[in-house]
Amino acid sequence: MTTLPLILMLLAAAVLVVIGFRALNLPPIIGYLLVGVVIGPHALNLIPDSEETQHLAEFGVVFLMFSIGLEFSLPRLFAMKRIVFGLGLAQVVVTLLLVLGASLVLGLSWQAGFVLGGMLAMSSTAVLSRLLVERLELDAAHGREVIGVLLFQDLAVVPLLVLLPALSQPAGEMAQTLAVETLKAAAMLGVVIFFGQRLMSGWFFIVARGKSSELFVLNVLLITLGLAYLTELAGLSLALGAFTAGMLISETEYRYQVEEDIKPFRDVLLGLFFITIGMLLDLQAVAANILSVLGLLLVLLVVKLAVVVTVSRLFGSGAGTALRSGLWLCAGGEFGFVLLARVSDLHLVDDEVLQVVLAVLVLSLLLAPLIVQISDRIVMRFVASEWLLRSMQLTQLAARSMGEEKHAILCGYGRTGQHLARFLEQENIACLALDFDPERVREAAAAGEPVTYGDCARRETLVAAGIGRAHALVVTFSDPQATARVIHHVRELRPDLPVVVRAAEESDVERFTAMGATEVVPEALESSAMLATHALALLGIPMHRVIKRLRQMREQHYVLLRGFFHGATDTDSLDEADQPRLHAVTLGTGSSAIGVPATELDLAGVSISTVRRRHVGRLELTQALAEGDVVVLLGAPKALADAECRLLGL
């Protein structure tokens, strides 16, 4: 097959798998591997295992290692040194030594055992970091351990790739080759560290002065591929050069722009790389050794779990944290495939053994999201202290909220939550904030802030926070999955409770509204409103017209604020008790408004802002009201009281 049809076939497969796996909310890496298995030479044979395919795979590895170098940050590593160079180093070394020992017992060479240990010690940075973000566990104790171990594993890949060519040499030449390779790598890194950063920063400054995005991207590609080529000429791996290029750029002020520009190339080439890895898998060989595959898979999961749990406990972590970290890290990872591809080229391990290991890595990567999903249940089942800790946290939260009534529950106590708490405090409204970051909770609580530790996406946490007595709930973070879980639990527990949520994307507004959110505040809308306000003012538009435009825009987008803006300045002269406000009324059994459309209700001095129905969300005002509907009214307090009596038939 020529190069163009090969690339077209790989691109078509990549597009289809990304569409399918994104729809299923699964990591695309798994899809790439499965596509490679199907279209490879051992299945449908649509794409042969050719030299062109291997070249594409090499480019994928180059950009993967460049990304690792780009993430390399000495301050970050220093801040996490105990986890990265303590827990991470111990996990990789112990796992590698255990695999090496088992390989020697099974009759394999020590070189084969060493490289197999390196492959199996790795976990998936791409899959696990994504899951940590989605589950809001990045700042949890086990989240920090997982990230620290993954950082060390990423760094460990570089010396392993440098050492692999030396391990393939005859015994008499191996020591000399290892020494030469190590010295060359050390010399190169030394030159880079002492001279490269200043040169790189100056060169990027010259390129950036051209103010051309095309020139900037071309420069990044030139540096990445150029350094990779130079290291190959020096007898080292392409990966080391790419890693070095990323490391140099990471210490410049252009790092984030480079990261954005290189991402499309990296993702596409990585997808092609994982497809080529899948093409290596021979299903017939796997079927013939299925017992070995399943046995090794079980051993891998159990051994890595035991290693991480043991090491984590030795470093002072609690039983629950250690077990969670072990469950997250027990599966294989993408860098295992990177090492496997290189080992296959160097023929360090028999093909039959490689097929078994490849199958185990693929299966473990498939199982990784499932293991993470059930990790909480496993920890609760086997760690008694976790039950006690969770119970104590809920008890403390319940005790904290016991004296609160008609309070506001704030989900999240980041900058947005802290600003909101200040507003509520100024209005003498009691609030209770929940946050999942123990460090933030500790510091805020020490400062006397109304915050306590708790995962607001859990039903029992909301109950303990006094949701049955609360007057409102506000979600201040922008994670869509967690926000959806909060809305779901709130609507089950308190259908009438006003819920205001924050949305990072416009696409989430309708979804959250349909789920039952009283109001959804899109970040983009408020940002554009403030930008427009300042821009119009600086352009000389009179301030009263600027404020009028701002009010009109918000009135159009926020249902609950409709009616506040027309003649809003007229309310300035009213007493505080006569100021218009919102009030929610739940229609109970026998309410006179049941069966009547909201538009036909005669509520003197009061307007209806919105109507919500459980499991339906916001209703049109022309729809007939039913029992359990929540009617949100706008008006002065006395008029609101009269309107509530009319609605309920009192």
Q: Are residues 102 and 230 in the same domain?
A: yes
| Edge-to-edge order in the sheet of strand 451-453 | 451-453, 431-435, 408-411, 472-475, 499-503, 519-522
Per-residue pLDDT at 349 exceeds 70: yes
| Mean pLDDT of all residues in 32-54 | 77
Per-residue pLDDT at 301 exceeds 90: yes
Q: Are residues 57 and 88 in the same domain?
A: yes
Q: Are residues 199 and 249 in the same domain?
A: yes
Residue 61 corresponds to which tokens in the numbers above?
A: 């590895």
| Mean pLDDT of all residues in 10-22 | 80
Q: Residue 569 has what pLDDT? A: 47
The domain boundary, picked from 473, 492, 517, lies at 517
Q: What percent of the chain has pLDDT over 70?
A: 90
| Mean pLDDT of all residues in 576-585 | 72
**Distance (Å) of CA 238 to CA 61, 178, 245, 419:** 8, 17, 11, 49
Per-residue pLDDT at 183 exceeds 70: yes
- Quick one: pLDDT band at residue 176, thresholds 50, 70, 90? confident
- The residue among 605 and 116 whose pLDDT is bigger is 116
Whether 551 is in a domain gets the answer no
Per-residue pLDDT at 527 exceeds 50: yes
- Quick one: pLDDT band at residue 570, thresholds 50, 70, 90? very low
Whether 601 is in a domain gets the answer yes
Range of the domain at 82: 51-382
Per-residue pLDDT at 573 exceeds 60: no
| Mean pLDDT of all residues in 104-110 | 91
Q: Are residues 590 and 470 in the same domain?
A: no
3-state secondary structure at position 165: helix
Per residue in 634-646, pLDDT tens? Answer: 888 888 888 888 8
Per residue in 377-415, pLDDT tens? Answer: 888 777 755 555 566 666 666 777 776 778 999 998 888
Q: What percent of the chain has pLDDT over 90?
A: 16
Predicted model pTM: 0.66
Calpha distance 241→445 (Å, rounded): 48
Calpha distance 134→141 (Å, rounded): 16
| Mean pLDDT of all residues in 130-146 | 80
| Mean pLDDT of all residues in 155-171 | 81
SS (H, E, C) 198-227: HHHHHHHHHHHCCCCHHHHHHHHHHHHHHH
The domain boundary, picked from 517, 534, 551, lies at 517
Per residue in 350-366, pLDDT tens? Answer: 888 999 999 999 899 88
Whether 411 is in a domain gets the answer yes
Per-residue pLDDT at 567 exceeds 70: no
| Mean pLDDT of all residues in 615-638 | 84
Whether 507 is in a domain gets the answer yes
Residue 65 · residue 158 · CB < 8 Å = yes
- The residue among 401 and 417 whose pLDDT is bigger is 417
Q: Are residues 162 and 291 in the same domain?
A: yes
Q: Residue 198 has what pLDDT? A: 74
Average pLDDT, the chain: 82
Whether 93 is in a domain gets the answer yes
Q: Residue 94 has what pLDDT? A: 96
Q: Are residues 295 and 261 in the same domain?
A: yes
Q: Residue 86 has what pLDDT? A: 92
Q: Are residues 322 and 413 in the same domain?
A: no
Q: Are residues 174 and 214 in the same domain?
A: yes
- The residue among 504 and 323 whose pLDDT is bigger is 323
Per residue in 583-617, pLDDT tens? Answer: 888 888 888 888 888 888 888 888 888 888 877 77
Per-residue pLDDT at 267 exceeds 70: yes
Per-residue pLDDT at 568 exceeds 60: no
Q: Which CATH number characterizes residue 318's domain? A: 1.20.1530.20
Q: Is 240 exposed, middle or buried (0-12, 13-18, 19+ CB in 10 A)?
A: buried
Q: Residue 544 has what pLDDT? A: 78
Per residue in 217-226, pLDDT tens? Answer: 888 889 888 8
Q: Residue 394 has what pLDDT? A: 65
Q: Are residues 327 and 465 in the same domain?
A: no
- Vertex 528 angle, CA 524 and 534, to 5°: 150
Q: Are residues 185 and 77 in the same domain?
A: yes
Whether 537 is in a domain gets the answer no
Q: Which CATH number characterizes residue 488's domain? A: 3.40.50.720
